[in-house]
């Protein structure tokens, strides 16, 4: 018997909105606790390889260059890069978790249908998924912070704020991608297009490895639309103690709008697809 059925039978009523979301999170946690090794490469090892390749390898080549100090504000390239890679890791994890696993819940494993056969609503399933994405990105981000601290990439306690910024950025990415995945009947080329033409360019041209103002003028507005650019700006400002309150509020507001609109759309599409 499922957890929602147990709740309904023991209390005589369906779980409340928050309880329903938590039951979905519990389902994801039980699965992850048994299968976490399968996700280590994407959530921990991949950003670590980025750190080693760019922060230490490439960084050793550009460190001390004429334009490097001006671009990084005088800090080491590794320290400048580390909070951005934290945001990148959150976005990549969120994009993956909101693509194939979501379609699997509808089509292959069909556990979404099992959840909504009980007292959990489709909207609670959608919100529970996004809550789990936030928890997972926070956990893998905390591990990543420990790794970059070992390599000397942490300069201040502001990196903790960077973690919160990265989680918000991940959810801002996950919400619209979840809504998009809820419209698909088959993965086809949709997810390949998503990763090749959205996630990878976003990673490369959102201020992660070099400032956006180094891009051609006509490309910069495209970068500004990216949630990763906004998340990177907040995460880097926090890690380097370079707060500009109005700018930070603007970035956070943009990310929150993406979260709210994406979550509302995902809840609506889940409801449309799962309601009998």
At 144-177, the pLDDT tens digits run 898 888 888 888 899 999 999 999 999 999 999 9
- Does residue 91 contact residue 199 with C-beta atoms inside 8 Å? yes
- pLDDT of res. 78: 85
Residue 41 burial (CB count, 10 A): 11
Average pLDDT score, the chain: 87
Q: Residue 58's pLDDT band (boundaries 50, 70, 90)?
A: low
Q: Assess whether pLDDT exceeds 80 at residue 53.
A: no
CA quadruple 209, 49, 35, 3: dihedral, nearest 10 = -20
Closest CA to 107 of 5, 181, 24, 31: 181
Rounded distance between C-alpha atoms, residue 207 and residue 201, angstroms: 11
Instruction: With cut-offs at 50, 70 and 90, classify the pLDDT of residue 42.
Output: low
CA distances from 151 to 48, 51, 54, 131 (A): 10, 9, 13, 31
| Spatial distance between the Cα atoms of 174 and 169, rounded to a whole number of angstroms | 9
Burial (CB < 10 A; 0-12, 13-18, 19+), residue 37, is exposed
pLDDT band with cut points at 50, 70 and 90 for residue 50: confident
- Global pTM? 0.89
Percent of the chain with pLDDT over 90: 61
Nearest residue to 263 (alpha-carbon basis) of 143, 192, 175, 136: 175
Tell me the percentage of the chain whose pLDDT exceeds 70: 88
Residue 6 confidence (pLDDT) above 90: no
Does residue 249 register a pLDDT over 80?
Answer: yes
Please answer whether residues 137 and 36 qualify as being in contact, where contact means their C-beta atoms are separated by less than 8 angstroms.
Answer: no
> Mean pLDDT across the stretch 38-64?
70
At residue 196, the pLDDT reads 94
For the stretch 90-136, pLDDT in tens is: 999 999 999 999 999 999 999 999 999 988 999 999 999 999 999 99
Confidence bin at 10 (pLDDT 50/70/90): very low
At 60 the pLDDT is: 66
Residue range 208-222: mean pLDDT, rounded: 88
Mean pLDDT, range 222-249, rounded to an integer = 95
């Amino acid at each position: 018997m499922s957890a929602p059925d147990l709740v309904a039978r023991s209390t005589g009523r369906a779980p409340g909105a928050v309880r329903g979301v938590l039951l979905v999170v519990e389902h994801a946690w039980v699965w992850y606790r048994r299968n976490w090794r399968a996700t280590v490469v994407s959530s921990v090892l991949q950003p670590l390889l980025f750190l080693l390749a760019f922060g230490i390898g490439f960084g050793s080549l550009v460190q001390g260059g004429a334009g490097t100090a001006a671009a990084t504000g005088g800090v080491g390239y590794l320290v400048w890069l580390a909070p951005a890679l934290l945001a990148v890791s959150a976005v990549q994890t969120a994009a993956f978790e909101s693509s194939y696993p979501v379609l699997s819940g509808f089509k292959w494993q069909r556990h979404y249908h099992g959840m909504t056969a009980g007292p959990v609503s489709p909207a609670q399933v959608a919100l529970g998924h996004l809550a789990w994405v936030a928890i997972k990105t926070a956990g893998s981000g905390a591990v990543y912070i420990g790794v970059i601290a070992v390599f000397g990439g942490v300069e201040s306690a502001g990196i903790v704020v960077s973690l919160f910024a990265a989680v918000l950025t991940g959810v801002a990415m996950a919400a619209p991608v979840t809504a998009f995945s809820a419209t698909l009947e088959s993965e086809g080329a949709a997810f390949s297009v998503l990763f090749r033409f959205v996630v990878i360019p976003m990673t490369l041209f959102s201020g992660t490895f070099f400032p956006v103002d180094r891009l051609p003028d006509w490309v910069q507005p495209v970068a500004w639309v990216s949630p990763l650019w906004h998340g990177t700006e907040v995460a880097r400002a926090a890690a380097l103690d370079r707060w500009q309150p109005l700018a930070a509020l603007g970035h956070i507001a943009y990310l929150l709008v993406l979260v709210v609109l994406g979550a509302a759309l995902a809840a609506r599409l889940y409801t449309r697809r799962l309601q009998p």
